[in-house]
């Protein structure tokens, strides 16, 4: 008997009718003879509504309490989904993250899973039940407090459970058909990928392809979980994420991702001494601020600007950490630019094809897009551009690498 | 340092502004040098809204899942209240019933507390925190599933926690000023009692004075917890519930309670054989149906009607249990009357004052109210009347015993 883990996001269970449709789909998988574990998010905008309520109560709500508040959303959706399954004659039991054995560290708001002890889940499965597990939440190993895994954390709950249960597949249901070569809302000719490797998906996710949380892909890669990203509105196959050896074709370029959720922070005229950068970034790490692209150029006069991108919501906190430090190390100041976007080209084949980055920069230049920052890995080239340029940039890059039928002239990569 | 347990109902925390007022009151108690434990219900109509949502999903939602759903309401209110306290500079930590060590049996929807292990609550108190605990919920000893204690269960959570922590007082905040000689909405001259004994309060609560859950009073009596029922909208003293020896005056009659939430069920023409009644009522007990007044008269022809009252919501289930049994024992059938009300006169003094019951029946008769059933205890006389007669009956009984300034002629009891 196969074990199937299915994850449904907030849109898929956005109202009672959609929840009933999800119940139909789960019933079908169960009737087909599978053991089914379902990870569910809060309904629709529930989490946003709870955040708003917290903001009305307190300007800076304590994170421990915010996590307790936010996790109530999944408690509602998971019990309702279990009821809907009962109504269809399918035995079902729901479990909170804590009950399902999702053990995390104690970093409220963005906890990391450190262990999974799915004894109760396994027992309920063995008893013939569909098991519903609250996504996005866990319990801290040390404090026994309720924690949340951050936005998109339900993906990680699902993949981590799939790994610990030895599931045959982890299906991530979403409101799009799979992973695309670019955001179809921006690039008309973008097409769905049938398969993508963990590494490429990791880069796509990290660079803003919002379909999977980065940590869920890391978890999948580290524990070899086959992930199937698909639409909850159709029964068509979506995109399979797996190891490289599963890939039938070795495409040079997988796609173009973009991310408009970040800001750029620059520490100006930092004295170019050993240890300064380390000191700045370790202070940020201590505050659990996730930074992304870092760019530094040594200038002639022994001073340099250090720039990095970070989630826009963290800029205030980062400023608070960096401003006194900038003073201390003798830098000129801290500047924030919130009107930026990141555009990334991802592809496992690009490392053996020189000239990919140059071709991307050329296309951007031809489209009149100015590049503010550049960062590359072996399978990715990312640039930061002005927020207003993001659509033009994505379209130009997608077209120049011939990723789809753009209606624009496509060259051979 | 005194330990004060405070319980706030759904109306007291009905919206963000009310919750802030509650936070002010808690801050004040904390600043006065007390250790404060707060038990909180779900906000306003949250629980009703969740029940409605469940009804839209499934006609007969499984009780385990219904309990998970309903307990999310307190999770929201408790974390918001903790945030509001933080905003006032008062350290606060919230705990679910399970985290607070409220251990129950496994009867979903009306679980009983079997143990309290308040280790985390005590530890947080010792750390200088106000502790917020979710009312109405616990965790089953055997199955580790989330349970609820039934309507009004937050009162019991509060009194049970007060008992286990050795609190100096358990304050039950409500939207009325205390316990009244009758419902002030029905009897204009009803007045607030300053003190009432556990036993009388137990009878008042059991007979429909909705201000305290019956089990909370039992718990208070068994563990000698001083309960102070008071209004969350004023700082005036309310009604103290305590042992008889605390009572300064020994009033004959405490008050008149009424209850319109029950139905009357009659098993008609039951053969009058030993064991028949036991069989009927043990079947109901197995289904956890709480029955209340039982009346049986032996008739001449060896057959008798057995009537009892029960919560209106349980009539369908009770019928399901009793109809096949009625057939089996040779009874004529089962009849349900939902248009009834119960009116009770309560007073510790009445057992030494003969004629109290007779005087009550006389007053009802003079007011044109027909009595359908009678049941008495040493400190209570209850009658069942037609639903339409309830106001007339309460007013007539309140007046005849001179319980207030009714504007009606009052006799000496």
- Intra-chain end-to-end CA distance of chain A, in Å: 44
DSSP A349: G
- pLDDT recorded at residue A412: 36
- The answer to whether residue A79 neighbours chain B at the CB level (below 8 Å) is yes
Tokens of B347: 């007073």
Half-sphere exposure of B385 (CA within 13 A, CB side): 23
**Helix B72-87 vs helix B63-70: angle between axes, to the nearest 10 degrees?**
20
- pLDDT recorded at residue A102: 97
- pLDDT recorded at residue A409: 37
Tokens of B105: 């049996």
> How many residues are present in chain A?
413
Mean pLDDT of B101-109: 95
What percentage of chain A carries pLDDT values higher than 90?
Answer: 58
DSSP A179: -
Q: Are A12 and A175 in contact, with CB atoms under 8 Å apart?
A: yes
CA angle (B106, B70, A122) in 5-degree steps: 55
SS3 labels along A120-144: HHHHHHHCCCEEEEECCEEEECCCC
Q: Are B412 and B262 in contact, with CB atoms under 8 Å apart?
A: no
Q: Which of A279-288, A323-332, B252-261 has the lowest mean pLDDT?
A: A279-288
Instruction: Give B359's pLDDT tier (boundaries 50, 70, 90).
Output: confident
Alpha carbon B131 to chain centroid distance?
A: 24
Mean pLDDT of A370-393: 87
Cα distance between residue B18 and residue B3, in whole Å: 24
Instruction: Write the CA distances from B279 to B283, B284, B294, integer angstroms.
Output: 6, 9, 14
- In chain B, count H helices and then E strands: 12, 20
Residues 6+ apart with CB under 8 A from B47: B10, B41, B70, B73
Half-sphere exposure of A137 (CA within 13 A, CB side): 28
| Nearest residue on chain A to B51, alpha-carbon basis | A80
Beta bridge partners of A104: A113, A140
The 10 Å Cβ neighbour count of residue B50 is 20
Nearest partner of B80 among B72, B245, A367, judged by Cα:
B72
pLDDT tens figures, A77-90: 999 999 999 999 99
pLDDT tens figures, A32-50: 999 999 999 999 888 889 9
Beta carbon pairs, A and B, within 8 Å: 116
Tokens of B323: 């109809």
Nearest partner of A16 among A40, A43, A41, A42, judged by Cα:
A43
Q: Are A1 and A34 in contact, with CB atoms under 8 Å apart?
A: yes
Instruction: Write the CA distances from B37 to B100, B129, B164, integer angstroms.
Output: 11, 9, 12
- The alpha carbon of residue B103 is apart from the nearest alpha carbon of chain A, in Å, by 16
Determine the 3-state secondary structure of A175 from DSSP: coil
For CA atoms A98, A102, A107, A110, give the dihedral sign. negative
Instruction: Write the CA distances from B112 to B67, B103, B220, integer angstroms.
Output: 14, 8, 15
Cα distance between residue A267 and residue A332, in whole Å: 7
Cα distance between residue B236 and residue A19, in whole Å: 48
Cα distance between residue A189 and residue B276, in whole Å: 79
What percentage of chain A carries pLDDT values higher than 70?
Answer: 94
- pLDDT recorded at residue B411: 38
- The alpha carbon of residue B34 is apart from the nearest alpha carbon of chain A, in Å, by 22
pLDDT tens figures, B284-307: 888 888 777 887 765 657 788 888
Among the partner residues B64, B72, B87, nearest to A76 by beta-carbon distance: B72
| Nearest residue on chain B to A21, alpha-carbon basis | B57
More confident residue, A200 or A69: A69
Put simply, the answer to whether B78 touches A57 (Cβ < 8 Å) is no
- pLDDT recorded at residue A248: 57
- The answer to whether residue B226 neighbours chain A at the CB level (below 8 Å) is no
Cα distance between residue A326 and residue A332, in whole Å: 7
CB contacts, 8 Å: B71 with chain A: 75
What percentage of chain B carries pLDDT values higher than 90?
Answer: 58
Put simply, the answer to whether A94 touches B65 (Cβ < 8 Å) is yes
Instruction: Give B2's pLDDT tier (boundaries 50, 70, 90).
Output: very high
Mean pLDDT of chain A: 88
Instruction: Write the CA distances from B406 to A64, A276, B356, B399, integer angstroms.
Output: 53, 83, 19, 6
pTM across the whole model: 0.77
Q: Is the pLDDT of residue B213 over 50?
A: yes
DSSP A110: S
Q: Is the pLDDT of residue B247 over 70?
A: no
**Strand duo A146-148 + A113-116: pairing:** unpaired
DSSP assignment of A296-326, as one string?
E---TTSEEEEEEEEEGGGHHHHHHHHHHHH
Determine the 3-state secondary structure of A149 from DSSP: coil
Cα distance between residue B264 and residue B77, in whole Å: 37
For CA atoms B198, B202, B204, B210, give the dihedral sign. positive
pLDDT tens figures, A355-365: 788 888 889 98
Nearest partner of B114 among B160, B73, B79, judged by Cα:
B160
pLDDT tens figures, B162-184: 999 999 999 999 888 999 998 88
- pLDDT recorded at residue A84: 97
Mean pLDDT of B316-333: 91
- pLDDT recorded at residue A406: 46
- The alpha carbon of residue B316 is apart from the nearest alpha carbon of chain A, in Å, by 19
Determine the 3-state secondary structure of B386 from DSSP: strand
- pLDDT recorded at residue B54: 93
Mean pLDDT of B113-133: 96
Cα distance between residue A255 and residue A229, in whole Å: 16
- The alpha carbon of residue B76 is apart from the nearest alpha carbon of chain A, in Å, by 5
- pLDDT recorded at residue A3: 96
Which H or E run contains B147? strand B146-148
Mean pLDDT of B304-321: 88
SS3 labels along A206-249: HCCCCCCCHHHHHHHHHHCCCEEEEECCCCCCCEEEECHHHCCC
Q: Is the pLDDT of residue B42 over 80?
A: yes
- Intra-chain end-to-end CA distance of chain B, in Å: 44
DSSP A250: -
pLDDT tens figures, A10-21: 989 999 999 999
| Nearest residue on chain B to A144, alpha-carbon basis | B99
Put simply, the answer to whether B83 touches A68 (Cβ < 8 Å) is no
DSSP B297: -
Tokens of B57: 């999903």
- pLDDT recorded at residue A250: 58
Determine the 3-state secondary structure of A25 from DSSP: helix
- pLDDT recorded at residue B304: 80
- The alpha carbon of residue A21 is apart from the nearest alpha carbon of chain B, in Å, by 11
Question: Which residue pairs from B388-394 have beta carbons closer than 8 angstroms and sit at least 24 positions apart in sequence?
Answer: B388/B339, B389/B341, B390/B186, B390/B258, B390/B260, B390/B341, B390/B343, B391/B186, B392/B367, B392/B368, B393/B258, B393/B341, B393/B343, B393/B364, B393/B367, B393/B369, B394/B182, B394/B183, B394/B186, B394/B187, B394/B256, B394/B258, B394/B343
Instruction: Write the CA distances from B223 to B103, B162, B168, B212, B285, integer angstroms.
Output: 17, 9, 12, 16, 26
Cα distance between residue B180 and residue B187, in whole Å: 10
Determine the 3-state secondary structure of B291 from DSSP: coil
Give residue A132's region: left, alpha or beta (phi > 0; psi -120 to 50).
beta
Pick from A40, A51, A54, A68 the residue to mutate for testing the B interface (most B CBs within 10 Å): A68
Among the partner residues A79, A86, A96, nearest to B69 by beta-carbon distance: A79
Cα distance between residue B265 and residue B308, in whole Å: 6
Q: Is the pLDDT of residue B406 over 80?
A: no
- pLDDT recorded at residue A40: 97
Q: Is the pLDDT of residue A369 over 50?
A: yes
The 10 Å Cβ neighbour count of residue A138 is 32
Environment class of residue B184 by beta-carbon count within 10 Å: exposed (0-12), middle (13-18) or buried (19+)? middle
Q: Is the pLDDT of residue B396 over 90?
A: yes
- The alpha carbon of residue A56 is apart from the nearest alpha carbon of chain B, in Å, by 7
Mean pLDDT of B274-289: 81
Instruction: Write the CA distances from B60 to A88, A339, B146, B285, B288, integer angstroms.
Output: 11, 52, 19, 21, 17
Largest CA distance in chain B: 75
Nearest partner of B76 among A47, A100, A78, A153, judged by Cα:
A47
| Nearest residue on chain A to B67, alpha-carbon basis | A79
CB contacts, 8 Å: A76 with chain B: 50, 53, 69, 72
Mean pLDDT of A271-300: 78
Domains assigned to chain A: 3-175 (3.40.1160.10), 266-337 (3.30.2130.10), 340-400 (3.30.70.260)
- pLDDT recorded at residue B370: 87
- The answer to whether residue A75 neighbours chain B at the CB level (below 8 Å) is yes
- The answer to whether residue B331 neighbours chain A at the CB level (below 8 Å) is no
């Amino acid at each position: 008997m196969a074990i199937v883990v299915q994850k449904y996001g907030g849109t898929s269970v956005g109202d009672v009718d959609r929840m009933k449709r999800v119940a139909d789909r789960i019933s079908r998988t169960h009737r087909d003879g599978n053991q089914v574990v379902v990870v569910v998010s809060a309904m629709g905008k529930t989490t946003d509504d709870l955040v708003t309520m917290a903001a009305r109560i307190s300007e800076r709500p304590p994170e421990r309490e915010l996590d307790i508040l936010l996790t109530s959303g999944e408690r509602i959706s998971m019990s309702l989904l279990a009821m809907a399954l009962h109504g269809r004659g399918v035995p079902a039991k729901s479990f909170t993250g804590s009950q399902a054995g999702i053990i995390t560290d104690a970093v409220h708001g963005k906890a990391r899973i450190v262990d999974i002890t799915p004894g109760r889940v396994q027992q309920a499965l063995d008893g013939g039940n569909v098991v519903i597990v609250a996504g996005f939440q866990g319990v801290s190993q040390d404090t026994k407090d309720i924690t949340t895994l951050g936005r998109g954390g339900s993906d990680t709950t699902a993949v981590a459970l799939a790994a610990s249960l030895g599931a045959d597949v982890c299906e991530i249901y979403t409101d799009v058909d799979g992973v695309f070569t670019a955001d179809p809302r921006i690039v008309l000719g973008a097409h769905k990928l049938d398969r993508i490797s963990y590494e490429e998906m990791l880069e796509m996710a990290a660079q803003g392809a919002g379909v999977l949380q980065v940590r869920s892909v890391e978890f999948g890669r580290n524990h070899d979980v086959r992930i199937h990203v698909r639409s909850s509105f159709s029964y068509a196959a979506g995109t399979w994420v797996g190891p490289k050896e599963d890939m039938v074709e070795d495409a040079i370029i997988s796609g173009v991702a973009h991310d408009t959720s970040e800001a750029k922070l620059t520490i100006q005229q930092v004295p170019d001494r050993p240890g300064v950068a380390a000191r700045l970034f370790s202070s940020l790490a201590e505050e659990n601020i996730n930074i992304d692209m870092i760019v530094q150029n040594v200038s002639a006069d022994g001073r340099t600007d250090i720039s990095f991108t970070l989630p826009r919501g963290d800029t205030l906190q980062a400023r608070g950490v960096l401003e006194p430090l900038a003073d201390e190390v003798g830098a000129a100041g801290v500047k924030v630019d919130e009107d930026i976007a990141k555009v990334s080209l991802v592809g496992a084949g690009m490392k053996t094809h020189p000239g990919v980055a140059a071709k991307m920069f050329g296309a951007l230049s031809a489209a009149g897009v100015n590049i503010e920052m550049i960062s590359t890995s072996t399978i990715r080239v990312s640039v930061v551009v002005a927020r207003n340029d993001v659509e033009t940039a994505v379209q130009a890059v997608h077209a120049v690498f011939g990723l789809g039928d753009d209606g624009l002239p496509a060259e051979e990569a």
